[in-house]
Structure 1
Amino acid sequence: MRNSLFLLGLVATLFSTACNTSKPTVADQPVAMEVRNLDTMTITPETNGVIDDLEGLLAEAEIPNELPVYRAAHHRTHDLLHTRLDLRFNWAEEQVIGKATLQLSPIFHPSQEVVLDAKGFEFKSIKTASGQDLKYTYGGEKQQVSITLDREYKKGESYTLVIDYTAIPAESGGSEAITSDKGLFFINPRGEEGDKPRQIWTQGETENNSRWFPTIDKPNERCTQEMYLTVDDQYVTLSNGSLVNQTKNADGTRTDYWKMDLPHAPYLFMVAIGEFDIVKDEPWNGKPVNYYMEKGWKDHAKAIYPHTREMLSFFSELTGTEYPWPKYSQIAVRDYVSGAMENTTAVIFGEFMHGTARELMDVDINEKIVAHEMFHHWFGDYVTCESWSNLTLNEGFANYSEYLWMEKKHGRDAADHHMLGERSGYFGSVQRGEPHELIWLDYDDKEQMFDAHSYNKGGSVLHMLRAYLGDAAFFASLERYLSDNKYSAVEVDELRMAFEDTTGEDLNWFFDQWFLKAGHPKLALTTGYADGKVTLTVEQTQSTDNNVPAIFRLPVDVDLYLNGSSTPRRERIWVEQRTQTFTFETSVRPDVVIFDPQHAILAQYDYTKSEEELAAQFRVAPSLVDRYLAIQRLANQDEGGSARTATYTAALQDPFYAIREMAVEVIGEEPTAEQLALIRKIAQGDPHTAPRVAALEFLALAEDETRQAAAELALQAQSYAVVAKGLEVLANVNPTAAAKAATDLEQVENDDIQVALAAIYAGAGDVSKLPFFEKQIKKADGYGAIGLLESYRILLEKGSDAQITAGIKTLTELGLNQAGSPWRRLAATKALHDWREELKEAGAPADQIATLGTAIQQIKAAETLADLKEIYQGYGN
């Protein structure tokens, strides 16, 4: 699953910094002391104070009266072998009319009772396959049905239940990852929402599929399935497995029969129903590859779901395990409550995936999410975590697939740039909250598992393991893990044993500190040179709270660059102490020392280098991370000389776009003639959007004489982001030309263009454009929503009292709508907050300020997403 960590990334970027360079306190230091029996220890003046301290600590230590929390895997008493569902749908009442035929068998002990999960059900009957009525009780906090079987069944004996029911999916909450837990969703069921399509779709993870069919709704359960879906003939259906046949019925409906012969977990069952166009790609190894497209999008299927067949081949080769399922289908639905979900053979995405090839040229998120959900078909669907505590065995691998794909398709620089973002997201989450173990056995709620630990840290830890073992051993171990555990549920020890059995090495030390302990190392590094020796001191400064190790064991390479050479001398060291100094003999002072040149270790650093060292690092170290950090750290230095100037000039010509972009952003107000020429060149036609947009912004702020020509050239670009920035720059130098261009662009349905138009209209104070805003803000999403609603707020201030009142109502409704985009809610609430603050500074009447304050308080009280709540705390009362 890919989830609301998109929003976490925003929060990390806007409201926190991932770098912590604080020095350790005394409490952080290890205590080297053996504690003996206090009754027999000899008391001396020297030891008396220590004894008093220890006795006090022991007296204050609270001895627990309860066992620690342990979120065990579900205790299986019955094995669910097969599920057949016959389903119809009451759109008007949002009900599922179902008949479930379940085949089960006792796991070990004889049993005459079985308990099923069934949330929000009305049961008509529960019978045996022969038609005998069975007694049952239903209810309780867990909403489970306990069924008394017709006799006692023993291991090896199977029995069949036939359950007639009506399911009424009821909203009862949600989480940051999954904003509603209905399990099955009716979209515009009564046709009351204008031109929004009518759809039905499901979202089972974590345990919400039991809101529409009775099952054992646990990740360590697994069964085969059949699905009979009866719908109006106008609708297309999608489910797991293969479409066997379609039967038209006399009442104008049609029944589609889907069959999955391979076992998978109940949370991976899915249904999607609606008016979709089916775009058929070429089969992959004889297996269908299809895209189910909302009307109007079929011509863009391969841009929306890029490289699908290529990824199937790549991941099959990489894992040594051919894609094991009978088909691969992808579909985007309206109002989806998560980012995407890896339902076996039928992945569901949110509508944010939609875009034309021209719109999607500026982003790589689509291909990363396609990779993420596809890799789950090996790690999550084929081999499934046995409990939610082990979720990283699903999500960590899916997260790492994004790196693997970027590395294969776009090169190591692109992959490392992606990893920088993933690690920043994890560090930011730890800064905002407490670290916990990857295998988190004492969570409060299973939904907490869907966080930057399971995803970002999980992927980073796999990257470290790959770097330590090497590619051959790493991928051979994954092949063994998949082979040994196919179609089964696993815990982390099975992953460790697959690596140990493959490599012959005891890896308990690695799995213990990275999977079973919390946190990550914080490293203070210092280097020196004297008497023909380089010294490197590594100090671990992380706090040991929350089960964070005082000492991480870190195998790491150190590269010494000598005499201007771009070929380093590499040394392998093992960091195994809280503070440790390493010595390397060399006849000359190194140009620069690179710690962990692969940049595999998940750590935060305090490592100061001189301008000359950073310049050398940029010049000779091959890693994108080294070049990126060199520019970043040079920019943070108060002063710079010729080495910094030369490095910035080189960075403007770097082969990777993010370095060129950063170089444009950090160069000051007085670039050299060579630098200015390079920036102008970037603005006029860089092959990548990001540095070109940054260069256009630079020229505008510098009031460069070429800015208008660069802006006019930008209006002809393919990238909408470049066009939008060109329009913005043109508006500052030639408003008349910008207004004409804006009119020509108003019909373009693109967020970047709409935000740029909004800024121009707000700046002009043309309240006749308010209808344009009111149309756009209803569908605004992503980071662009913030700029769009800010411009709307600015223009509203120039409107009449009636327009202002209506605008405040609109913003309030957007902020309150928990079913809407979190970005839209944030943008609306921020606009209200900024408006109120401006009124306060202007000394506006108290009643105007109070009106906005009331709206903000209503939104804060209604908000359910933790990250938004945290942001709103800064909005005052």
Structure 2
Amino acid sequence: MKNSLLMLFAVSFLHTPVSATDNYQRNWNVDVMHYRFHLELRDDTNSIAGKTDITVRFVTDGISEFSLDLIGRDPGEETGMEIADVSHNGEPVHFSHIDDRITVSMSSPSSAEERRIFTITYQGIPADGMIIAENMFGDRTFFGDNWPNRARHWLPTVDHVSDKATVEWIVVAPNHYQVIGTGRLIEQTSLSNGYHRTHWGSSIPIPPKVMVIGAARFAVQYVGTVSSVPLQSWVYPQNRDEGFYDYAIAEKVLRFFDGHIGPFPYEKLANVQSKTRYGGMENASNIFYSERSVSGNRTSEGLIAHEVAHQWFGNSVTEKDWHHIWLSEGFATYFTQLYNEFTQGHDAIENGMRGARNTVIAFYAQNSELALIAEQLTDPNRMLNRNAYQKGAWLLHMLRRQIGDEAFWAGIREYYREYRDTNALTEDLQRVMEKTSKQNLEQFFQQWAYVPGHPILEGTWRYDANAGQLNITIEQTQSSETIFMFPLDIEISISEEVTRVETLQMRSALETFSLSVDSAPSTVTLDPDTWLLFEGELSQQEGDVSRY
């Protein structure tokens, strides 16, 4: 017992939570408050003309320069952005554009808490981030696809999850396009040259990964409202009926999350058929789904639930550091399971979590060095792995089991309330859950978030008829040095009609338990209700004394 506890404490020390540590070079004294993107889209070229007004807050005095991300055009290349000028109050400002970073040098240093607006005028063909392509019906389309850090291919931004800002889009495009954008619709104006202007805007800060526009031929349905939030469907006109039918299920999804988590964070929710490279992309207030998501038989209900859940977790409450991406993907994955439990019954979440457990086990077999928070990774695309989705969901599922439904949901609502429209790390979630549950969750979060792997159990059971006792021995055999501590449910089946569930507490590598049982069990099963991420089983020990 002492060795096991010392090992756990040693592992906990090595994985003490730290502040944001990914490799993005962020100046925390410079905070972008607002982007106002002016864009012109054309049919005769893939080049976009852009002008961006950026409101910057300087936290301290004495700052004389700051940087933004924008992929430049290299000599001889067709793609990339070229900057025409940078200005402040109509006056030119010195800048450099080297290695895809804009460095703006100011003529006078900042004062603390001062705000200045800079305008960047640029043009070019985006290699990524903005997908300009024909859709499945042969129509030309434009769709922003920024995740995780591809906004920089077409928008000058601080392209990191930790810098959230409000946003406006003023898009000039040919008349045959309809434009969808973040927030609420502010203006639509027909221009005299066969073009029209569309203006969208949001007063709610979001990270660049989820601020986008789309332009295409659309059929638009105004589905209704949920708690005063307008719900819309934007689909290709060629599959209008199928798309409207499929996406209308979002009303039920939105009602569930709005009622269980807290108020929807944005001005509207539009579900949009698009050219995103992903199955779905949770852009704030206008979710982009793969164009193949429309089938006419609502096969994408789970996908819609996942992306709608992201509006709360990932968009509104955003991970401060890419290493904590599970706060986005794990939440969306588990809240899809919670929605399934609500709509289909408890068997649905048990089935879903068993599938997720198998996925985590298979991933660990090939990636045994990776914890849920894998600080050795630097590329967000590599962090977007099965741990972020399925193991993150499992952490939440086990947390619910640990603290109970009432404290779990109270913690979820408090976490959203406290970190809405801002950023959080795993230790922030832990602190909130400790507050609502009145439990110390240090060990729980350390072993499930910061340590690779999961328990691998080998056990035997033996019934002693003379003593009327069931004797169970369970050993943790995982190859890592970590000893996990957790509650373990077992189901004792005497017959089809007579069963009971007991909870054992695993605190060391090897545990022995004795339970009073009146009759010889036919089976003894680990984790009958699917509450634990583990591998293993119990086998009946030979020489069972129940016959004697």
User: Normalising by structure 2, what TM-score?
Assistant: 0.90
Which structure 1 residue ranges, 5 or more long, are not aligned? Answer: 1-28, 35-68, 171-181, 611-877
- What is the alpha-carbon distance in structure 1 between the residues aligned to residue 194 and residue 222 of structure 2? 26
Q: Map of 1:740-819 to 2, 5 A cutoff? A: none
Deviations 1:514-533 (A, max 9, x none): 01111111111211111321
- What is the alpha-carbon distance in structure 1 between the residues aligned to residue 361 and residue 499 of structure 2? 32
The answer for the alignment partner of 1:849 in structure 2 is: none
The 3-state SS of whatever aligns with 2:484 is: coil
- What is the alpha-carbon distance in structure 2 between the residues aligned to residue 33 and residue 425 of structure 1? 29
Return 274-283 or 594-603, whichever deviates more.
594-603
Alignment equivalent of 1:133, drawn from 92, 101, 106: 92
Q: Map of 1:516-535 to 2, 5 A cutoff? A: 516-530=450-464, 531-535=467-471
The answer for the alignment partner of 2:383 in structure 1 is: 449
The 3-state SS of whatever aligns with 2:106 is: strand
The 3-state SS of whatever aligns with 1:111 is: coil
The answer for the alignment partner of 2:488 in structure 1 is: 556
The one-letter code matched in structure 1 to 2:292 is F
Are residue 206 (structure 1) and residue 140 (structure 2) matched? no
Check conservation: 2:41, 2:174, Cα contact below 8 A: no
The answer for the alignment partner of 2:339 in structure 1 is: 405
Check conservation: 2:525, 2:537, Cα contact below 8 A: no
- What is the alpha-carbon distance in structure 2 between the residues aligned to residue 512 and residue 30 of structure 1? 19
Are residue 601 (structure 1) and residue 532 (structure 2) matched? yes
Check conservation: 1:327, 1:345, Cα contact below 8 A: yes
Check conservation: 2:455, 2:484, Cα contact below 8 A: yes
Are residue 285 (structure 1) and residue 227 (structure 2) matched? yes
Return 324-333 or 414-423, whichever deviates more.
414-423
> How many residues get paired?
517
- What is the alpha-carbon distance in structure 2 between the residues aligned to residue 32 and residue 573 of structure 1? 17
Check conservation: 1:385, 1:491, Cα contact below 8 A: yes
Are residue 87 (structure 1) and residue 19 (structure 2) matched? no
Check conservation: 2:243, 2:295, Cα contact below 8 A: no
The 3-state SS of whatever aligns with 1:93 is: coil
The one-letter code matched in structure 1 to 2:291 is E
The one-letter code matched in structure 2 to 1:538 is I
- What is the alpha-carbon distance in structure 2 between the residues aligned to residue 91 and residue 521 of structure 1? 57
Check conservation: 1:341, 1:373, Cα contact below 8 A: yes
Deviations 1:832-865 (A, max 9, x none): xxxxxxxxxxxxxxxxxxxxxxxxxxxxxxxxxx
Q: Map of 1:413-432 to 2, 5 A cutoff? A: 413-432=347-366
Are residue 108 (structure 1) and residue 60 (structure 2) matched? yes
Alignment equivalent of 2:288, drawn from 321, 325, 348: 348
Check conservation: 2:326, 2:372, Cα contact below 8 A: yes
Deviations 1:503-562 (A, max 9, x none): 121100000000111111111121111132111111111111xxxx52111112333334
- Report the Cα offset of residue 168 of structure 1: 2.5
Check conservation: 1:279, 1:301, Cα contact below 8 A: no
Are residue 579 (structure 1) and residue 510 (structure 2) matched? yes
- What is the alpha-carbon distance in structure 2 between the residues aligned to residue 32 and residue 604 of structure 1? 20
- Report the Cα offset of residue 395 of structure 1: 0.5
Q: Map of 1:386-785 to 2, 5 A cutoff? A: 386-530=320-464, 531-544=467-480, 549-562=481-494, 565-568=497-500, 570-608=501-539
Are residue 296 (structure 1) and residue 252 (structure 2) matched? no
Are residue 71 (structure 1) and residue 71 (structure 2) matched? no
- Report the Cα offset of residue 605 of structure 1: 1.2
The answer for the alignment partner of 2:310 in structure 1 is: 376
Check conservation: 1:557, 1:595, Cα contact below 8 A: yes
Check conservation: 2:185, 2:199, Cα contact below 8 A: yes
Larger Rg: 1
The 3-state SS of whatever aligns with 2:333 is: helix
Q: Which has the higher contact order (CA 8 A, sep 6+)?
A: 2
- What is the alpha-carbon distance in structure 2 between the residues aligned to residue 593 and residue 355 of structure 1? 44
Alignment equivalent of 1:144, drawn from 101, 104, 119: 101
Percent identity of paired positions between Structure 1 and Structure 2: 24
- 1:516–1:148 Cα change, 3 Å: same
- Report the Cα offset of residue 317 of structure 1: 1.6
The Cα RMSD (Å) is 2.2
Check conservation: 1:167, 1:213, Cα contact below 8 A: no
- Report the Cα offset of residue 298 of structure 1: 1.4
- Report the Cα offset of residue 607 of structure 1: 3.2
Which structure features the higher share of strand residues? 2
Check conservation: 1:105, 1:153, Cα contact below 8 A: no
- 1:401–1:33 Cα change, 3 Å: closer
- What is the alpha-carbon distance in structure 2 between the residues aligned to residue 215 and residue 167 of structure 1? 16
The answer for the alignment partner of 2:14 in structure 1 is: none
Alignment equivalent of 2:126, drawn from 169, 182, 186: 169
Check conservation: 1:167, 1:211, Cα contact below 8 A: no
- 1:237–1:535 Cα change, 3 Å: same
The one-letter code matched in structure 1 to 2:64 is Q
- Report the Cα offset of residue 195 of structure 1: 5.1
Which structure 2 residue ranges, 5 or more long, are not aligned? Answer: 7-19, 73-80, 542-548
The one-letter code matched in structure 1 to 2:194 is G
The 3-state SS of whatever aligns with 1:151 is: coil
Alignment equivalent of 2:132, drawn from 175, 181, 186: 186
- What is the alpha-carbon distance in structure 1 between the residues aligned to residue 460 and residue 43 of structure 2? 67
Return 552-561 or 498-507, whichever deviates more.
552-561
Are residue 333 (structure 1) and residue 274 (structure 2) matched? yes
- Report the Cα offset of residue 289 of structure 1: 0.8
The one-letter code matched in structure 2 to 1:240 is T
- Report the Cα offset of residue 481 of structure 1: 0.7
Alignment equivalent of 1:124, drawn from 81, 84, 102: 84
- What is the alpha-carbon distance in structure 2 between the residues aligned to residue 445 and residue 345 of structure 1? 26
- What is the alpha-carbon distance in structure 2 between the residues aligned to residue 33 and residue 310 of structure 1? 47
- What is the alpha-carbon distance in structure 1 between the residues aligned to residue 136 and residue 347 of structure 2? 46
Check conservation: 1:467, 1:598, Cα contact below 8 A: no
- What is the alpha-carbon distance in structure 2 between the residues aligned to residue 292 and residue 572 of structure 1? 50
- What is the alpha-carbon distance in structure 2 between the residues aligned to residue 608 and residue 318 of structure 1? 41
- Report the Cα offset of residue 106 of structure 1: 1.4
Deviations 1:53-109 (A, max 9, x none): xxxxxxxxxxxxxxxx95367442211111101100244432220000000111335
Check conservation: 1:72, 1:387, Cα contact below 8 A: no
- 1:564–1:374 Cα change, 3 Å: closer
- What is the alpha-carbon distance in structure 2 between the residues aligned to residue 251 and residue 200 of structure 1? 20
The 3-state SS of whatever aligns with 2:520 is: coil
User: Normalising by structure 1, what TM-score?
Assistant: 0.57
The 3-state SS of whatever aligns with 2:64 is: strand
The 3-state SS of whatever aligns with 2:109 is: strand
Check conservation: 2:280, 2:289, Cα contact below 8 A: yes
- What is the alpha-carbon distance in structure 2 between the residues aligned to residue 139 and residue 92 of structure 1? 29
- Report the Cα offset of residue 302 of structure 1: 4.3
